[in-house]
Amino acid sequence: MRMYDKKQDLAGPGISTYEEVSKILPNNYQAPLTPLKRMEALYMIKEYIEKGMAEALNLQMVQVPLIVSKNSGVNDYLDRDGSRTPVDFPAGLGLPKRIEAQVVQAATKWKRMALAQFGCDIGQGINTDMRAVRKDYFLDHDHSSYVDQWDWEKRITSEDRNLDYLKDTVKRIWKVIYGAGQLVKEKFPELNDPKYPDFPEELKFFHAEEILEMYPDLPRKQRETKLIQQYPAVFIIGIGWVLKDGYPHEMRAADYDDWVTPTVEKNEQLMHGLNGDILVWNPVTKRRHELTSMGVRVTKETLVEQLKITGQEDFLEMPYHQAILNDEIPLSIGGGIGQARTYMYLLRTAHLGEVTVTIWPDQLKKICAEKNIHVLE
């Protein structure tokens, strides 16, 4: 595979052409549930997951910002190539100098600071019903400019910063998602279509380095697809660290997840990273389907190390980063579970627009209409 292709494969969600989107979306599609029933099932899932996450991880639902100060350093830039920028605007009519505000792209960094603000003890955490705008996404069947997530964060100790703790947390989250799937299948028999296999009760863990060894000649998304065709629910560890081929599995921001910490040695090879993604096989679109990114968060030492790697050491002057360096905010683990992505997976829909209301280009709406996919507007 050419190096250029690997670089192209690193960052940027979405498929990039509507010709490709048209190939992915199923023909002669028939949604299992009517739009109104789908909303009933959706809110059943939402309630189940929010309660389940609270019990499984000891989380309290809290309010979350939609708007943050540009100068705070709290907003999420999603990756490290600078290609996805937030919506900026001046706020505060009548002020001598208006506030430089941004619409959040995710609440990743805010949540860690919020643990201190809400006075969370070790082992306690928060969950949020987060909304965001990501204007630089290519809009396809599972990416939209409007983002809804369960953004959660939990206070931990330095002893908890290990792979076993990460894996235990992932298993707890998957148990909740699986339980939500079983609930709606019981309440809505239409979802029990024999052409779709049941949701896997357990997921498998793989390090990004292992997957590269398994499929060395494939680009990242194709590696994931091959893996998930065999194991329909997986957690991929170590996203952000440069693998032995000279490229990370995927670009990942340097100032929240810890992807630099050495974790395990396998076949005399040291592997890195205390973070990862839950990916599942979507039998409707017959594609890889990401549900969540999560990880143990950086310490002040790994924050500096990762920002050196990415050439973003100027970030260290921002209030959020200074708070980490000065031990003003706690160690934590956290993540964001895509709400619409989860509904799409559990309710067997072909397009995000069936479970969320946002803008879509006319070209995509035409493709959907031709395939009997009715997006909400």
Task: Dump pLDDT digits (tens) for 145-179.
Answer: 999 999 999 999 999 999 999 999 999 999 999 99
* pLDDT tops 90 at residue 221: no
* pLDDT tops 60 at residue 2: no
In the structure, what pLDDT confidence band is assigned to residue 73 with cuts at 50, 70 and 90? confident
* pLDDT tops 80 at residue 53: yes
pLDDT averaged over every residue in the chain:
93
Catalytic residue numbers? 76, 134, 149, 277, 290, 293
What integer is the mean pLDDT of 295-310? Answer: 97
Given strand 99-103, what is the order of strands in its sheet? 67-69, 99-103, 88-91
**Rounded distance, CA 320 to CA 193, Å?**
48
CATH class (in words) of the domain with range 3-370 = alpha beta
Ordered by start, the domain boundaries in the chain are 3-370
Nearest Cα residue to 278 out of 224, 318, 315, 197: 224
Checking DSSP bridges between strand 125-133 and strand 59-62, what pairing results, if any?
parallel
* pLDDT tops 70 at residue 343: yes
The helix (run of H) or strand (run of E) holding residue 209 is helix 208-214
Low-confidence winner among 77-86, 301-310, 336-345 (lowest mean pLDDT) = 77-86
Helix residue ranges per DSSP H, 13-86: 18-24, 35-57
Number of neighbours of residue 157 by Cβ within 10 angstroms: 11
